[in-house]
Structure 1
């Protein structure tokens, strides 16, 4: 997923996070990250040495080393040229390839007047990713979800589903596996992720206009009561038109095995996104919702402390004991 506008950060915020992030670059962490990247690219039939040929790989390797510390680095083209002995063209081509992997955010440092020439690069898979985007780039939770929506959704699907086999029982929270269960009942094997994508396109390519038309389509694919409640909730709220027009898609993304816990989480997520739309433009509100909901379920809210019952009577009768309560 790419963003239309390049993200920018101030020198002070970027340097503060790099300096006080708590870790130093680690070669072992770097090697593991490059290995993970190579494996992820292979799943897409992309070969590392083709995407990063020769000296471009040196640029990737150096950036991965800096990122191994705290998930963020800032560097200028001239620094990479001098340190690695490569050309400007090599550096720029390597940065383009890094963007294409969709596993890194490539932003720019800005001065008071304009952008300067240095890159600010963030590893999407680093544990600090969210905090970096909040503290360095000042992004909202919904904007962070939009940045990472496509990648998160695909990773979640691949994590939850064994691509080679699956049981016929409808236990997966993923909509598209549920559709496979109903439409491909005689098939016990999935040999390609493309099948999931085709089913996804089949459902979401339909564009019902009215709420009744959306409800009819929704009932074709699910009979889960919490999904229906979520759909009704969206229709009952004065949310932006982009949310209401995609209500059935959002509802399907909640999952055909939704329970009350997921229903509550979905309500909170769509409410925050709807409020944030006033200040941020989302190209794909469904993808943003999916990523945000997955993150919300993966990192549940802290439970509030239990409140002491104010009406508990004193165990001992003292000077101020209220005898009228007996």
Structure 2
């Protein structure tokens, strides 16, 4: 059984953000033609490997990897983009493996159901396999040399699930790559990344923040808001609260016309967010509680021991003003 390479999400994301460019339709079509020709050269029947919706899944993968040669995406997201079932995605991915044209890897850090696709014919292939997967040059050369190998059992394509693949595969872990210092990258400069793709980069906190503000923004603001959220890099509950306050206040001010963006929304939001993070947490002032002293209440109204005999009663003349 072929090896299934695994890699950490953070490493893949960094590489994509540093190298992603928007692929052209021409480039994607040319890549698909090369893949189809490769299948025919290996005596395979392309239509049997990628019938119907499987072909649509292939098109999505070709487009996603057309920018820098590598992309990561969940099976559910890929099914939604291709308008098909996840079972069809599994079948299309297994067919893609049989072509020998792509590396199909997995995310190792708790991202079950996520694929990492690497195009072997990409100009960045050797760099990706070395920088992202940590493979030595001789192993990378072996992967490229196998490009024209024959297809395995092209008549039938298994619909192996994600879990079945994980149980029967030999994993290669790129844990050592996480010990390397990460380079800084500027998300706002990666203009080739689509709106749907940006959502794939968001963690759960960032996705929750995006869903919270989504009803407030217009269609032409989606891209800028996504960049702003990714720029804040929210990773905890405390950061989520501060990011939410900053973003909501900023969007509200824009809607009310009290704020004009001088540069970009991302720059404005990130600057305000960084100030919020640097600001010390305000401690709530709690008033000290005092316990009242217990006093004995005297019922003087019913106290017969009080002697009022010595109290002189004043003479009071009542004036009848009604008949005056």
TM-score range, shorter chain: 0.3 to 0.5
Task: Report the structure number with the largest CA radius of gyration.
Answer: 2
TM-score normalised by length of structure 2: 0.44
RCO (CA 8 Å, sep 6+): is it higher in 1 or 2?
2
